[in-house]
Amino acid sequence: MMRRRYLTVAGLLLFLAAAIASLGMVTAEALYPAGYSTSKNAISDLGATEPPDSVAHQPSATIFDSSMIVCGALALVASFCLQRGFRRWAVPILIALFAVGVLGVGVFPGNYGNVHALFALLAFIAGGLAAIASVSIAARPFGYLGILLGAVSLVTLLLYLILGDSSPMASLGLGGGERWIVYPIVLWIAGLGGHLMGRSR
């Protein structure tokens, strides 16, 4: 019974984390001054643009940074509950690393340069790997969807890192390509949250 409760709480927290991250990004985009492009601008520009001429537009910056911090904190607690519920370590550790990356993105916005980039990279890699590894704890067919979404995220990231502007995703622009990395992870987190809440019943 306690393990089921842990899984219920983990599912609820993960679903809330995905919802807050999604709505935070959408709201920050809507309130950003004219000129923001989901193709040309990075998602992190919502918090602050990169140095040397960094700019943080309000209220978008506060909304984006706060939503990332809350999302990361919820996912971190969820990883603990997930470990207690399944008594396994691989997926909870990867989710915890993802959570730390998201927290870092919120605490250290784009104007922190390389520090911000490292936390973002941690979130991308750990999130994609966690989605793939979740096949070990999720019932089918959702487990296979985790593999698919994680692979899409990681392949997009790998193509960007290796090929840069020559990547097949380059036509989408920096922001469009980044969203193909981020959105599959967010969708997976929301799906895993619902899956866990249903499974725990």
Instruction: Give the Cα separation of 105 and 118 in Å (integer).
Output: 9
- Taking each helix axis from N to C end, the angle separating 114-133 and 90-107, rounded to the nearest 10 degrees, works out to 150
Instruction: Give the Cα separation of 118 and 101 in Å (integer).
Output: 8
In contact, 93 and 31? CB cutoff 8 Å: no
What residues make up the domain containing 37?
A: 2-200
Instruction: Give the Cα separation of 32 and 45 in Å (integer).
Output: 10
Predicted local distance difference test score (pLDDT) of residue 200: 59
Number of domains in the chain: 1
The pair of three-digit structure tokens given for residue 112, joined into one six-digit string = 């922190």
In contact, 106 and 100? CB cutoff 8 Å: no
Q: Distance from CA of residue 38 to its chain's centroid?
A: 17
Instruction: Give the Cα separation of 117 and 109 in Å (integer).
Output: 9
Instruction: Give the Cα separation of 53 and 95 in Å (integer).
Output: 33
Q: DSSP label at 50?
A: P
The residue ranges of DSSP E strands in 56-197, in sequence order, are: none
The CATH code of the domain that includes 90 is 1.20.1070
The pair of three-digit structure tokens given for residue 181, joined into one six-digit string = 């990395």
One-letter amino acid for residue 159 of the chain? L
Task: Residue 128: name the closest of 166, 101, 89 by CA.
Answer: 101
In contact, 98 and 119? CB cutoff 8 Å: no
Q: Is 7 helix (H, G, I), strand (E, B) or coil?
A: helix
List the chain pLDDT tens, one digit each, 201 residues.
Answer: 788 999 999 999 999 999 999 999 999 999 998 889 999 999 999 999 999 889 999 999 999 999 999 999 999 999 999 999 998 899 999 999 999 999 999 999 999 999 999 999 999 999 999 999 999 999 999 999 999 999 999 999 999 999 988 888 889 999 999 999 999 999 999 999 999 998 756
Q: Distance from CA of residue 59 to its chain's centroid?
A: 21
Predicted local distance difference test score (pLDDT) of residue 1: 77
